Amino acid sequence: MSTPTSKSHESLRRLCLAAVFAALVFVATAYLPRIPTVNGYVHLGDTLVFLCASLLPMPYAVAASAIGGGLADLLTGYAIWAPASFIIKGATAFFFTSRGKKILCAKNFIAIAIAAVICVGGYYVWAAIFISGSWAAPVSELFPNLMQTVVSGVLYVVIALVFDRVPALRRYF
């Protein structure tokens, strides 16, 4: 039996980390404290989406975020939102970078703002087209969706500061 090459070993390691992050996004979205809203709930899963996207290469981060977010809706009674979450969480992860020496780089700060636009706008459009059939009805969800991204962004910054200050954590990823 041959030993794995360095490249295949690294691919397997990234795949395993992506699977772990998908599970973390799922748990943080579906089961950690969440606040019910008119059409869904506010959760902390985006914090893990942002962190995943800052630690893993883009294709792995996009897949982990999309799978974790989509499964959370699918398995907790919000299946109608699962396709939207799959697309929106994957798109959110796309704008972060894992290539810097620090997690808290300028691009990742900008990515939090882009995430807010994607999440708020994406869920609004999904609700208007597929849930209510009205552009007025989902307006009530704009503020909760914005707050979800803001709170997740603040938590992400705190966690990223820890990762940036503890070299052993950053080296692992």
Q: Return the CATH number at 66.
A: 1.10.1760.20
Quick check: is 143 in a domain?
Answer: yes
Residue 4 has pLDDT above 70, yes or no: no
C-alpha 49/C-alpha 62 separation (Å) is: 9
Q: What is the pLDDT of residues 146-163, one digit of tens each?
A: 989 999 999 999 999 999
User: 18 and 60 in contact (C-beta within 8 Å)?
Assistant: yes
Domain hosting residue 117, numbered range: 7-172
Quick check: is 62 in a domain?
Answer: yes
Question: For the chain, what is the domain count?
Answer: 1
Task: Give the mean model confidence (pLDDT) for residues 33-37.
Answer: 81
Quick check: is 20 in a domain?
Answer: yes
Task: Give the mean model confidence (pLDDT) for residues 58-70.
Answer: 97
pTM, entire model: 0.92
User: 142 and 94 in contact (C-beta within 8 Å)?
Assistant: no
Q: What is the pLDDT of residues 96-131, one digit of tens each?
A: 998 888 899 999 999 999 999 999 999 999 999 999
